Amino acid sequence: MQYWLMKSEPDEVSIDDLARLGTVPWFGVRNYQARNFMRDAMRIGDLALFYHSGCAEPGIAGICEVCSEPYPDATQFDPSSPYHDPKSPPEKPRWLLRDVRFVRKTRYLSLGELRAHAELANMRLLARGNRLSITPVAADEWAFITEQLMGLR
């Protein structure tokens, strides 16, 4: 199993939305490296930290599970979508997504709180200039966050 951090703006899809809906497509990824993580590296059953970004206090709000194989993101073909990509043809889509399933809501871990722990110093989320919406999380980082900071076992 691999671990991930997946960012979503809470006014688009929040952890509460995911809890209510159960499963959502992780749409709108328009970065090749993040897309490649979803396409090539993620597997069904992988777990992810659900991270609220683009808000007053960014942070981890819960945990979700990858629950589908990759498939084309329909928003790339919709001219009314902010994620529309006119250079992506339906016969050879450029952008893919995966569905994620709600696992649990957790206590909110702010970006500032994450930065305060030396155990997370190498976490990709905390690297200077990192803006990727999907990043891998090392097993030791996952264990520290979920066990030490969230109190999960």
Q: Structure pTM?
A: 0.95
Q: What is d(CA 86, CA 110) in angstroms, rounded to the nearest whole number?
A: 36
- Sign of the torsion formed by the C-alpha atoms of 111, 117, 123 and 129: positive
Which among 62, 65, 51 is positioned nearest to 124, based on CA atoms?
Answer: 51
Which among 131, 138, 141 is positioned nearest to 109, based on CA atoms?
Answer: 141
Domains belonging to the chain, first-starting first, are: 3-149 (3.10.590.10)
* Number of Cβ within a 10 Å radius of residue 137: 23
Which amino acid is present at 57?
E
86-108 residue pLDDT tens: 999 999 999 999 999 999 999 99
19-38 residue pLDDT tens: 999 999 999 999 999 999 99
> How do beta strands 47-52 and 3-8 pair?
parallel
Residues of the chain with pLDDT under 70: none
Please give the torsion angle defined by the CA atoms of residues 140, 116, 8 and 103, in that order, rounded to the nearest 10 degrees: 50
